[in-house]
A and B are shown apart, each in its own frame.
Chain A
Amino acid sequence: MEILTRVHAKNLVAWARTRPEVVVLSADLTSSTEVDLFRDTYPDRFFSMGMTEQNMLSMAGGLAREGFYPFVHTFAVFIYRRALDQLAMSVAYPNLPVRLFGFLPGILTPGGATHQAIEDVAVVRALPNMTVLETGDATDVESVLDVAQAVPGPVYVRTLRGEIPRLFPQTEPMQLGQARVLSEGDDMLLVTSGICTEEALRLVPLLRRRGLSVGHLHVTTLKPMRDPTVVEAAARARLGVITMENHTVVGGLGSAVAELLTEQGVAKRIVRLGLRDTFAHGASPRHLMREYGIDAMALAAAVERLTGERFGIREEELAAVRIEVASPESKAEAL
């Protein structure tokens, strides 16, 4: 598995070269949200807003009304907690093409409760006109710009920074409203998003080796959630569905999938893994994923609960799994 660094920083600069209508607003977190390279490359299109998030969101609305595409960059929490009214009234209500890049989603920061966006998907999904996307690897981070820019209204993107694995081939970009099929199976279905997908990718081969037929979908469009791939895969899953997300279980991926399946009349048991309606605290992501039950071991335990079988997955086995880029060939093998 290839690990890349500063994917968004480099990609945004290349992508924006031919798009002069794209401007970046940053709220005093320019390096932390990987727009320092954009600032240095296109100083005329970069606006340092300081810590004025409420003003920044409203201004983004004004800029968008006049034909610009404001790419707002800050930590996810400061978009939807600090400036929710502004997001709702200055951006979402008028359905303006503002692109909001929320960094450090969920427990990805040791910054503690103040910095951890654990309910952002629930809050932003509840706003009419919003599209909500989440990235899970370098290919997602690279291709989310095209996906977001094709949406005529406002888009919120849970964005990864720093060192990011490439899990999906660069030739297979993210598609709006379409989950990535990572494996197919009839016993049960895993639906994961963001960093949780890599966790599931460690577990799935071990489960298959033990005879469990597991389907696995990686979801990047959290709203709108009407993907027939999810419905069909869940309908096939004999024992039910497990969702896992870097977010609370209230209102995020698990809720969205449950809503979709219920509306489509797919009556399957759904086990939702995520923060169980709790805030978190400052610690390393790895520690917090273990503590709050959103890692491969937590997923293995949930699979045992759902199936009623014991698979005896050991931590060392998980660590030894070599994740290959899910190329078309490996997908075929997984069938």
Chain B
Amino acid sequence: MMSTATAADWVAHAYRVAHGVRRRVLEHTIANNGGYLSQACSSAEILATLYTRVMRLGPSVAPMVPLAFPGVPGPDNPRAFTGSGYNGPHRPDLDRFYLSPAHYALVLYATLIEVGRMAPEGLAQFNRDGSTVEMIGAEHSPGMEVTTGSLAQGLSQALGVALARHLKGERGRTWVFMSDGEFQEGQTWEAFEVLAHHRIPGVGVYVDVNRQQCDGRMADVLDIGDLRAKLRAFGADVHEVDGHDVERLARTAEGWDGHRPLVVLAMTNPCQGIDRLREREPKYHYVRFRDDAERQAYRALLDAMQEEG
């Protein structure tokens, strides 16, 4: 265990990262007159905790300012690359990270900046033609290794990687970030069946349980019921925690031996840190300002956040 002083430092750092993530995503939502802002509100502490505490990653091996889009992978394109270098080198003892809901990409980019893995200027390329810093990230985007924009394919792809690494005797773990909406997809449950049956070790899943999806509240669109009970029935080691409490988020992973799949259900608030979003209930999925007055109101919020540091 770390000393109390060091632990306090870590916690303060993680909250600073989370705050910075919200601020940067808000800034970009204002600049682009739209963005996946609510996703930053709900998941900032989860990603901050993963990057500052939970995952064992080496330093970034990717350029601080992301390279331009190299073209799609194919037989005639040896230049194609993935964005996994931002998560450090591929080494047997190190962990891997997979962002399954790729529309959280902006939140991931902001996190990479806040933890010093990407330059702030990198975000200036966001959603620009010819850039890898795409709105819905793909495998060439910073921090991404596989293409997951079609929801629920991330976990299965990560399982393939985890199984391969297990067969090669590698000890590094596999972390997957998921959204709760992905538990509506059948493929997610297929993956958990296979994960349990084949006892693939070292797979940990953090779920942003914000209970929202594109059409509105999941309870109205398609209620998935008791996710904790369902996942337990599928053989996972499930923990439900406050998704904005970085210590709780981290502690859950610390007690895990890697034998059974770990699922951390991070119970989150889609408006955390930006209460003004609440007026958009129940449509949080993509925020586009109605008029200049609203945009100015959010700009004032941003100014206040920047003063907070």
Q: Report yes or no: B158 in contact with A49, Cβ–Cβ below 8 A.
A: no
With beta carbons under 8 angstroms apart, the residue of B75, B156, B161 that contacts A129 is B75
Q: Which residues of B contact A63 (CB under 8 A)?
A: 160-161, 163-164
Q: Is the interface of B mostly helix, strand, loop or mixed?
A: helix
Q: Which residues of B contact A65 (CB under 8 A)?
A: 145-146, 157, 160-161, 164
Chain A, 46-74, contact with B by CB distance < 8 Å: what is the 0/1 string? 01111010110111111111111010000
Q: Report yes or no: B163 in contact with A62, Cβ–Cβ below 8 A.
A: yes
Q: Report yes or no: A95 in contact with B74, Cβ–Cβ below 8 A.
A: yes
Does B221 touch A at the CB level, under 8 Å? no
> How far in angstroms is the closest Cβ of chain A from B62?
17
Question: Which residues of chain A from 90 to 120 have a CB within 8 Å of any chain B CB?
Answer: 90, 93-95
Q: Report yes or no: A58 in contact with B164, Cβ–Cβ below 8 A.
A: no
Does B162 touch A at the CB level, under 8 Å? yes
With beta carbons under 8 angstroms apart, the residue of B74, B149, B150, B157 that contacts A59 is B157
Does A128 touch B at the CB level, under 8 Å? yes
Q: Report yes or no: B73 in contact with A90, Cβ–Cβ below 8 A.
A: no
Q: Report yes or no: A50 in contact with B164, Cβ–Cβ below 8 A.
A: no
> How far in angstroms is the closest Cβ of chain B from A90?
5
Q: Report yes or no: A86 in contact with B147, Cβ–Cβ below 8 A.
A: no
> How far in angstroms is the closest Cβ of chain A from B108?
18
Q: Report yes or no: B198 in contact with A62, Cβ–Cβ below 8 A.
A: no
Question: In the docked arrangement, what's the CA distance between A263 and B73, Å?
Answer: 26
Does B303 touch A at the CB level, under 8 Å? no
Question: In the docked arrangement, what's the CA distance between A55 and B158, Å?
Answer: 10
> How far in angstroms is the closest Cβ of chain B from A42?
12
Q: Which residues of B contact A66 (CB under 8 A)?
A: 160-161, 164-165, 168
With beta carbons under 8 angstroms apart, the residue of A50, A58, A68, A93 that contacts B187 is A58
Question: In the docked arrangement, what's the CA distance between A117 and B161, Å?
Answer: 30
Q: Report yes or no: B150 in contact with A62, Cβ–Cβ below 8 A.
A: no
Residue from B158, B159, B160 having most chain A Cβ neighbours under 10 A: B160
Closest to B158 in A: A62
Q: How many residues belonging to B are interface residues under a CB distance threshold of 8 Å?
A: 33
> How far in angstroms is the closest Cβ of chain A from B70?
13
Q: Which residues of A contact B194 (CB under 8 A)?
A: 49-50, 52, 55, 59
Q: Given the known inter-chain contacts A61-B160, A65-B160, A66-B164, please indicate yes or no for A89 contacting B147, CB distance below 8 A.
A: yes
> How far in angstroms is the closest Cβ of chain B from A13?
19
Residue from A50, A59, A94, A95 having most chain B Cβ neighbours under 10 A: A59
Q: Which residues of B contact A54 (CB under 8 A)?
A: 153, 156, 186-187, 190
Does A85 touch B at the CB level, under 8 Å? yes
Q: Report yes or no: B193 in contact with A52, Cβ–Cβ below 8 A.
A: yes
Q: Which residues of A contact B190 (CB under 8 A)?
A: 52, 54-55
Q: Report yes or no: B157 in contact with A90, Cβ–Cβ below 8 A.
A: yes
> How far in angstroms is the closest Cβ of chain B from A59?
4
Closest to A94 in B: B73
Does A153 touch B at the CB level, under 8 Å? yes
Q: Given the known inter-chain contacts A52-B193, A52-B194, please indicate yes or no for A93 contacting B147, CB distance below 8 A.
A: yes
Does A169 touch B at the CB level, under 8 Å? no
Q: Which residues of B contact A86 (CB under 8 A)?
A: 153, 156, 187
Q: Which residues of A contact B73 (CB under 8 A)?
A: 93-95, 129
Q: Which residues of B contact A312 (CB under 8 A)?
A: none
Q: Which residues of B contact A285 (CB under 8 A)?
A: none
Q: Given the known inter-chain contacts A52-B194, A63-B164, please indicate yes or no for A58 contacting B75, CB distance below 8 A.
A: no
Closest to A85 in B: B150
Q: Report yes or no: B146 in contact with A61, Cβ–Cβ below 8 A.
A: yes
Question: In the docked arrangement, what's the CA distance between A261 and B165, Å?
Answer: 46
> How far in angstroms is the closest Cβ of chain B from A179?
21
- Chain A residues in contact with chain B, CB under 8 A? 23, 47-50, 52, 54-55, 57-68, 70, 85-86, 89-90, 93-95, 128-129, 152-153
The 7 A-B pairs at the shortest CB distance, nearest first, are namely A62-B160, A58-B156, A66-B164, A52-B190, A55-B190, A59-B160, A62-B161
- Chain B residues in contact with chain A, CB under 8 A? 72-75, 80, 139, 145-150, 153, 156-165, 167-168, 186-187, 190-191, 193-194, 197-198
Q: A62-B146, A86-B156 are in contact. List 11 more A-B contacts (CB 8 A).
A: A50-B197, A52-B193, A54-B187, A55-B190, A55-B191, A58-B191, A65-B160, A89-B147, A89-B149, A93-B73, A128-B72
